[in-house]
């Protein structure tokens, strides 16, 4: 939980570069290094900062991404989720309300690999139907 604008500014600096030294953040925020460290500790302890991560550059990211919308047979969600967990190209799975029961985020290095992956997902026991949306380009990406 953010307590004030300083915490928000600190998180913005970390979003810019999670490896930024505390001394650099302190200088840019006009605060003492110990104050910045104390705020970082507080944000880590209260769960606002869950960890520091690596974002791969475009040359190392999978080239083809897609969102797969799944409709499931009644009471088949656990079996479908188990199958999706076994596929390393599956990045995230969300339950959904409405026409589809699950939203699946996937990534592959080639269109052939994506085609094979979509077949495996569609053939999973309990999948009633699926619809795939291939990502063409990213216009906004605010993920840390």
Determine the pLDDT at residue 143: 65
85 and 127, same domain (yes or no): yes
Determine the pLDDT at residue 43: 92
Residue 58 domain-assigned (yes or no): no
Residue 54 domain-assigned (yes or no): no
72 and 102, same domain (yes or no): yes
Blockwise average pLDDT, block size 10, the chain, 144 residues: 82 87 94 94 91 70 88 95 95 95 95 96 95 92 66
What dihedral do alpha carbons 117, 85, 74, 97 form, nearest 10°? -90
Phi, psi of 68, deg, nearest 5: -115, 125
Determine the pLDDT at residue 112: 95
């Amino acid at each position: 939980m953010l307590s004030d604008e300083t915490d928000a500014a600190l998180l913005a600096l970390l979003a810019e570069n999670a490896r930024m030294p505390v001394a650099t953040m302190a200088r840019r925020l006009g605060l003492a290094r110990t104050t910045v460290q104390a705020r970082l500790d507080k944000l880590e302890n209260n769960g606002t900062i869950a960890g520091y991560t690596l974002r791969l550059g475009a040359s190392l990211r999978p080239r083809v991404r897609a969102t797969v919308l799944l409709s499931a047979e009644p009471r088949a969600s656990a079996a479908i989720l188990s199958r999706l967990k076994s596929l390393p190209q599956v990045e995230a799975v969300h339950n959904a309300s409405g026409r589809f029961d699950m939203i699946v985020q996937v990534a592959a290095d080639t269109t052939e690999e994506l085609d094979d992956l979509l077949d495996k997902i569609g053939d999973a026991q309990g999948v009633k139907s699926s619809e795939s949306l291939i990502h063409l380009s990213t216009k906004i990406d605010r993920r840390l």
